Amino acid sequence: MGGKVTCTLGEVKNRGDFIIYWGGNPAECHPRHFTKYALMPKSKFLPNGRKDRTVVLVDIRPTKSAKAADIFLQVRPGKDFELITILRAMIKDQKISAEAVAETGVTLEQCTDLVARMKKAKFGCVFFGMGLSMTRGKHMNSAALLTLAAEMNAFTKFVAMPMRGHGNVTGADVVMRWQTGYPFGITFNRGYPRYNPGEFSTVDVLVRGDADAAFIIGADPGATMPQPAIDHLARIPTIVLDPHITHTSKLSRVHITTAVAGISAPGTAYRMDEIPLPLKPALKSPYPTDEEVVRRIKESIAKKPFWMPDGAQMIAAQV
Amino acid sequence: MTLTVVNNATCTFCGCVCDDIELHADDVRIVKAKKACVLGTAWFLNHTAERKYPDALIDGKEATLDEAIEVAATYLHEADMPLVYGMSNTTCEAQRECVALADLLGGLLDSHTSL
Ligand code: SF4
């Protein structure tokens, strides 16, 4: 779990009587989160469903999710870190300045009320979305919120969980952690894994023009990345595996069509709480699976001379 | 044309990964996705098992899978700093192969998480 204080969605459903959504819009991005796990279900320790739960939304504007919440706190854009830090001070009864609170866009009364409710909760859970982790402060915001959740355990049970986006991004984190010890931003250029986001993360590598070939699978950076990164992808030999001809396919040297995970390809995907679930494809694809194609490319490379003449220690893919 | 029903199918469109979907499918398309939300329904119904695209493209021209695999392997092998990126919309089994590929290449490995 990478050291975070967290739990499964099953626990949220059965025990979570105080739910905070921070910088996310589940009503539109994770439509069944409310009904299956966090708000509606009647469960063992919350027999009255929604009535047994208090729901808070923290965001920069009232989204559709605000209607589902009991309390909406409108934080000023880019002030999430400040607000979290104030809350961390307040739960420990430390002095805070009125100006610092005023800057966040939330009033002192609202903060006091929130802290009181957090401490009164039996089982608190804060879900955070891209509105927190992709804005000013980025991973420092997530780290601060995870710390707040951890520190709340001095008073009551409290957990935090990221609301992960589309597809199997959680699985990518988990598989990389399992195989290399790190979740992303890795290089093997010394024969063993090293981790340094900012240096080895893709946007940075491409904008600097470092990589001289790219293998893209289950993503479309040609549609999402900044232009200089896309320009570099077009300059170097890029290989794309995708069920569709994507923006990236159009600037690539090689495109291979593959089956769609979960629709026509079997396998495993991770839920946002890091629970692996089997996929049950309903269709038979005329195309091979990603797994098969990557394995065949790997096998073809393995027949060529090894890049490091003296041969470094390799991590074998575990079966 | 036969109609198959898959019970407790898994939707991977968002991080909820709902595993209680009932899919009704004929040979080429899913016609109904019970219990799925609007996003999930669109995801299931918009993908078909038709052969819409060529097996592979090399420099924009149609190619066979075998050719494309060889060319891809050559490009990656020749590179000094190859990058393996993405892995969002794929299975853990494929992700495992990607890690092994980056390891074998002595290359970079990264996912959407770093954005
Ligand atoms: S059915 Fe809806 S909520 Fe469930 S995984 Fe699919 S998109 Fe997400």
Taking contacts as CB-CB distances below 8 angstroms, the residues of chain A near B33 are none
Question: Are residue A239 and residue A181 in the same domain, yes or no?
Answer: yes
Q: What is the DSSP letter of A75?
A: P
**Same domain? A158 vs A198:** no
Q: Which are the contacts of B3, defined by CB distance < 8 A and separation ≥ 6?
A: B24, B25, B26, B31
B110 and B68 in one domain? yes
| Residue B108 covered by a domain | yes
For residue A239, give its domain range. 169-302
Domain annotation covers residue A311:
no
Contact between chains at B89 and A263 (C-beta distance less than 8 A): no
A228 part of a folded domain: yes
pLDDT of amino acid A1: 41
Dist. CA A171–CA B88, nearest whole Å: 8
Contact yes or no for A200 and B97 at CB 8 A = no
Residue A191, pLDDT score = 87
A14: domain CATH number is 3.40.228.10
Q: Are residues A188 and A135 in the same domain?
A: no
Given a cut of 60, is residue A312 above it in pLDDT? no
Report how far residue A156's alpha carbon sits from residue A152's, in angstroms, rounded to the nearest whole number. 6
**Within this chain, do residues A138 and A256 fall inside the same structural domain, yes or no?**
no
What local confidence, expressed as pLDDT, does residue A311 receive?
Answer: 54
| Residues facing residue A58 across a β-bridge | A22, A73
User: Is B56 within a domain?
Assistant: no
CA of A167 to the centre of ligand 1 (A): 10
pLDDT value at position A314?
A: 56
Query: How confident is the model at residue B80, as a pLDDT?
Result: 94
pLDDT for the residue numbered A308: 76
Q: Closest Cα to atom 6, ligand 1: which residue?
A: B40
On whether the CB atoms of residues B82 and B105 are closer than 8 A, the answer is yes
Crossing angle between the packed helical segments B92-105 and A169-180, to the nearest 10 degrees: 50
Per-residue pLDDT tens over the stretch A260-298: 999 999 999 999 999 999 999 999 999 999 999 999 999
Q: Specify if A319 maps to a domain.
A: no
Q: Is pLDDT above 50 for A150?
A: yes
On whether both A156 and A33 belong to a single domain, the answer is yes
Angle between helices A80-91 and A139-152 (to 10 degrees): 20
Q: How many domains does chain A have?
A: 2
How many Å apart are CA A169 and CA A258, to the nearest integer?
Answer: 18
Number of structural domains found in chain B: 2
**Residue A286 CB neighbours (<10 A):** 15
Residue numbers of the domain that contains B10? 4-46
A298 plus A179 within the same structural domain? yes
Asked if A192 and A156 sit in the same domain, the reply is no
- Pairwise CA distance, residues B93 & A241, whole Å: 15
Nearest CA to ligand 1 atom 3: A32
Q: Is residue A262 part of a domain?
A: yes
Q: What is the pTM of this model?
A: 0.90
Cβ contacts from A onto B, under 8 A: 350
Q: Domain boundary at A162, A196, A226, which?
A: A162
Same domain, A126 and A213: no
Residue ranges around ligand 1 (CB below 6 Å): A 30-32; B 11, 13-14, 16-18, 36-37, 39-40
- The answer to whether residues A288 and A189 belong to one domain is yes
Both B76 and B103 in a single domain? yes
Question: What is the mean pLDDT of the segment spanning A20-39?
Answer: 94
Q: Which residue of A has its CA nearest to B45?
A: A263
A49-93: pLDDT as tens digits: 999 999 999 999 999 999 999 999 999 999 999 999 999 999 999
Best mutation target, A294, A301, A310, to test chain B (most B CBs within 10 A):
A294
Under-70 pLDDT residues of chain B: 1, 114-115
pLDDT computed for residue A310 by the predictor: 65
Q: What pLDDT shows up at residue A315?
A: 57
The predicted-structure confidence for A85-139, as pLDDT tens digits, reads as follows: 999 999 999 999 999 999 999 999 999 999 999 999 999 999 999 889 888 888 8
Is residue B103, in this structure, part of any structural domain at all?
yes
Amino acid at the residue B85: Y
Q: Are residues A273 and A244 in the same domain?
A: yes
pLDDT digits (tens, 9 = 90+) for A204-216: 999 999 999 999 9
At B71-100, the pLDDT tens digits run: 999 999 999 999 999 999 999 999 999 999
